[in-house]
Chain A
Amino acid sequence: MSVGEGAAAAGDPLPDEPRRPPDRGLRHTAGEQTPLSSLALAAGAGGLVLVFAGSAAVATAYGWTPTESLAEAITSPAQLVVLLTSIGLGALAGIAGLLGARRAMTKGAREGAISGAALGLQAIVLAGFLLWFRNGDVERFARQFFDFALLSDFTDRFLRAAGNTVVLALSGEAIGIALGLVFAVFALSSRRVVRAPARAYINFFRGTPLLWQLSFFFFGIVLGLQLDVGVYTVAILVFGLNAGAYSAEIFRAGIQSIERGQFEAARSLGMSYLMALRLVILPQAIRRVIPPLTNEFVILIKDTSLVVVLGLTLSQQELLSTARDIYAQTFNATPFLAAAAGYLAITLPMIRVVTWLERRLRSGLTGIGA
């Protein structure tokens, strides 16, 4: 509770985010490198860059499409030279790095040598894999997975699919957050008759597979009872119920993490239980649970793919069902790569947001240091 005693004079800017530990990287130690460590760094980095840039250059020279020319590029002598050179550079980096690290007189030189060896090892592993790979039926593989020409025919469908993925996940999460808030409060009730059903709901939806839930609610309940509810709606409801159970646990933990004194102060000012919850506890708890909630959301984005089992119409299909659908039509697996790219395009920014939020919340800039 000695928070801010240092910043006593109010209006003082809050202390800066704690500095990260000093970087162990190479940026500041260029001057310390020895010939051996420099060699290791140059060979390692060169080898790794060559694997990527060289292979890309060869593929570009032969042409990425059609798949025949891509396959030709992969099996070409030029590509073999690229890979063998990379492995050679990697090996050189490894040897120079090991020797350099042992003889290094400064920390910077040792870091340089070790980093060079690490990069070299990566070049060897990657180039080695590609070397092994080009001995297989590359022709067939390229046709199966790298038919980028085919994708251009389905651009619209993939864009709509990405939109559907986002809509499914967002609506599910919105329902989930609302349910989660309510059931978290129920689960915290001092009355067993209120608590028990909340726990039952939470445990049931956390304890059974989402795939089972989707199947049961659609095939079991909707089709079984002949209800007039569409697949898409059922999917959103089930995602909402599922997300609600997980969010409830997150909110419950968040609410419990707020000191008792906050609640007591609110009650002693004449606030009702619900008013104290709404005005004092939740505003603080919600800030604390934003990172885990966003994590849940990322998981839900990926889990929307489970709707493939329900059989969606063309306009309802999300990323994975679109990929599977196109695969069934064309017997070409490239759409799966496109689907993966779609998921990453949605989830990676979310993951970055979580990291950013966590850092921000930890640094106490929101006034929740205490």
Chain B
Amino acid sequence: MNSDGSLVRLEDVHKWFGDDLYVLRGIDLAVTPSEVVVVIGPSGSGKSTLLRTINLLEEPTEGRVLFDGVDLTDIRTDLNAARTGIGLVFQQFNLFPHKTALGNITLALRNVLGLSREEARERAVEQLREVGLEEKADAYPGQLSGGQQQRVAIARALAMRPKLMLFDEVTSALDPELVKEVLDVMQRLAGEGMTMVVVTHEMGFAREVGTRLLFIDHGQIVEEGEPREMFASPGHERTRQFLAQVL
């Protein structure tokens, strides 16, 4: 935890791509443990970039990222170690196609956390069971449906026992009938007290599971608040317009 009681805090984070593309324009954000922060906003507004700066996959051009009492933007920080505390799930799953579901999970357990073969296997099987895919342990990603692949990806991230989970439009690449199985896993995770930052277009999930809603446009947090209140009475014109389009 950070000194202010937050698990992760972004302080005046700016991100440029090259000299012309100004994607994050001064983000201040603190997420306290067990919060489920849902991020919405138009395409290209910087939502993915925001998530990716939290685990320093994108290095902020300016500003600080503090996670669990460690300044990730400090050059001396061991980022690899810090990243094991932050799970990231991608829109495109990004499972390793040359590894089975089990192998996808054990790879980092063995090589990053240094677990023994048995420990890794045990933990991976248990994690697969939690996402309802125990019997797919030996299947390759190419043999799984999109929803199953995404649940394996979530299991892979969770197996590292992270304190924070980041979800980047994890249901956007799924056929509609497969969305629910993934959202169910995320909802249960939230119920267990996991701290989560979720970029999504699933407004139902935002309303039911989110503890805070963040509307981002042009790289800035335009408005934030309690999800139900914000849906009912958005405070900004741009939020109103965006919600009118997606609801």
Is the CB–CB distance between A269 and B98 below 8 Å? no
Q: Is the CB–CB distance between B146 and A367 below 8 Å?
A: no
Contact assessment for A279 and B143 in the assembled complex, using a CB-CB cutoff below 8 Å: no
CB A323 to nearest CB in B, in angstroms, measures 45
B145 touching A275, Cβ below 8 Å? no
B-chain residues with CB within 8 Å of residue A264 when the two chains form the complex: 57, 88, 90, 94
Interface centre among A7, A14, A270, A367, by most chain B C-beta atoms within 10 angstroms, is: A270
Kindly list chain B residues whose C-beta atoms are within 8 Å of the C-beta of A284. 96-98
Interface contacts beyond A265-B95, A267-B83: sample of 11 additional A-B pairs, CB < 8 Å, sorted by A: A1-B93, A5-B145, A7-B143, A265-B96, A266-B96, A266-B108, A270-B80, A270-B113, A284-B97, A367-B97, A367-B142
Min C-beta distance of A81 to chain B, whole Å: 63
List the B side residues contacting A12 at CB < 8 Å. 143
Q: Which of B88, B108, B156 is most buried by chain A, counting CB atoms within 10 A of its CB?
A: B108
Query: Is residue A271 within 8 Å, beta carbon to beta carbon, of the partner chain?
Result: yes
Is B34 interfacial (CB 8 A cutoff)? no
**B interface residues, how many (CB within 8 angstroms):** 39
Find out whether the CB atom of A369 lies under 8 angstroms from the CB atom of B142: yes
- Interface status of B131 (Cβ within 8 A of chain A): no
| Contact present for A287 and B143 (CB under 8 Å) | no
Interface string of A236-266 (1 = CB under 8 A from B): 0000000000000000000000010110111
Q: Could you pull out 17 A-B pairs where Cβ atoms are within 8 angstroms?
A: A4-B142, A7-B142, A10-B136, A11-B143, A262-B96, A265-B95, A267-B57, A268-B55, A268-B86, A269-B108, A269-B157, A271-B112, A275-B112, A280-B96, A284-B96, A367-B141, A369-B142
Residue with the highest number of chain A CB atoms closer than 10 Å, among B55, B80, B142: B142
By beta carbon, the residue of chain B nearest A13 is B143
Q: CB distance A368 to B80 under 8 Å?
A: no
Contact of A193 with B by CB under 8 A: no
The answer to whether A261 and B57 have CB atoms under 8 Å apart is no
Contact: A270 with B83, CB < 8 Å?
A: yes
Q: Decide yes or no whether A328 CB sits under 8 A from chain B.
A: no
Cβ of A309 within 8 Å of any chain B Cβ, yes or no, is no
A367 to B, closest residue via Cβ:
B140
CB within 8 Å of A: which of B114-146? 135-136, 139-146
B97 contacts A369, CB within 8 Å?
Answer: yes
Q: Is the C-beta of A355 less than 8 angstroms from some C-beta in chain B?
A: no
Task: Check B143 against A4 for contact (C-beta < 8 Å).
Answer: yes
B36 at the interface (CB under 8 A from A): no
Chain B window 146-183, contacts with chain A (Cβ cutoff 8 Å), 1 for yes, 0 for no:
10100001001100100000000000010100000000
Asked if A311 is at the interface of the complex by the 8 Å CB criterion, the answer is: no
Q: Tell me the chain A residues, 272-307 only, with Cβ under 8 Å from chain B.
A: 272, 275, 279-280, 283-284, 287
Q: Do A14 and B143 touch across chains, with their CB atoms under 8 A apart?
A: yes
Taking Cβ atoms with an 8 Å cutoff, the residues of A that contact B are: 1-5, 7-8, 10-12, 14, 259, 261-262, 264-272, 275, 279-280, 283-284, 287, 364, 366-370
When the two chains form their complex, are residues A11 and B141 in contact, meaning their CB atoms are under 8 A apart?
Answer: no
Q: How far is the CA of A111 from the CA of B86 in the complex (A)?
A: 66
Shortest CB-to-CB span from B198 to chain A, Å, is 16
Compute how far the CA of A100 lies from the CA of B12 in the bound complex, rounded to whole angstroms.
83
B107 close to chain A: CB less than 8 A: yes
Tell me if A8 and B144 are in contact (CB < 8 A).
Answer: yes
Contacts of B84 in A (CB 8 A): 269-270
Cβ contact within 8 Å between A270 and B108: yes
Cβ A271 vs Cβ B97 within 8 A: no
CB pair B98 A287 closer than 8 Å: yes
How many angstroms from the CA of A5 to the CA of B87 in the assembled complex? 25
- Give the shortest distance, in Å, between B70 (CB) and chain A (any CB): 14
Select from chain B the residue with minimum beta-carbon distance to A284.
Answer: B98
| Chain A neighbourhood of B107, CB < 8 A | 269, 279-280
User: Which chain B residue lies CB-closest to A269?
Assistant: B108
Quick check: is B81 within 8 A (CB to CB) of the other chain? yes
Bound-state Cα–Cα, A182 to B85, Å: 31
Given known A4-B143, A279-B107, contact A268–B83 (CB-CB < 8 A): yes
The smallest C-beta distance from B121 to any residue of chain A, in angstroms, reads 17
Task: Closest B residue to A278 by CB, please name it.
Answer: B111
Residues of B within 8 A of A279 (CB): 107, 111
B133 to chain A, nearest CB (A): 9
A11 to B138, CA, bound (A): 9
Chain A residue at smallest Cβ distance from B110: A279
- Option from A261, A262, A270, A370 in Cβ contact (under 8 Å) with B142: A370
By beta carbon, the residue of chain A nearest B100 is A367
